[in-house]
Amino acid sequence: MAKAFKDTAVGKFLTENAPHLLDVIGDVFPPAQLISNLLTREAPGLTPEQKIEFEKCLREYEQNELKAYLADVANAREMNVNIQQSSNASWLAKNVGFLIDLVIVVCTIILVLLLYFKPIPGGNREIAYAVLGVLLTGLSTVLNFYRGSSKGSVDKNDILLKTLQNEKVNKG
């Protein structure tokens, strides 16, 4: 069973130094950047030692978050490979993922074409756009599963941005 957020190193740090933030965050596992932004805004009087301790806890939290994400993706892909290699699996078991993916892709294309060529009745606009949002999210999930996610690209961009910002600070 997973730890409650308040039981993580970051949660314990926040309990001691900014307990009101836990009321805002709750027991979900928020992104590390959100935690950092909230703490900076809500607890500006932290000492330099507390900030260093917080950064250390936050890096550990980010690493655990990344490990959990990568394990989840690996498990999903491994399950898919096991089904494909199984001689006992039926045609439907081997292809249900592909069929769902095909339905998502086809429905997305059809809805986009309909939205482009057909006027939407006034009362149905919100529904049509909500369905489009769900389908586009599903489409991105399908593409990320088969083509890999852009997590590495995002991380590289963050590193480059931080490096450029540090260079500006050092030159300025």
Residue 115 burial class via C-beta count within 10 angstroms: exposed 0-12, middle 13-18, buried 19 and up: middle
More confident residue, 39 or 66: 66
Is residue 3 within 8 A of residue 65, CB to CB? The reply is no
Q: How far apart are CA 94 and CA 83, in angstroms?
A: 6
Q: What is the DSSP code string of 84-125?
A: HH-SS--HHHHHHHHHHHHHHHHHHHHHHHHHHHSPPPGGGH
Of 71, 72, 96, give the one whose Cα is nearest residue 83.
96
Is residue 132 within 8 A of residue 112, CB to CB? The reply is yes
State residue 64's pLDDT score: 79
Note the pLDDT tens digit of each residue in 56-91: 887 887 787 778 777 777 777 788 788 888 888 888
State residue 95's pLDDT score: 85
pLDDT band at residue 4 under the 50/70/90 scheme: low
State residue 47's pLDDT score: 78
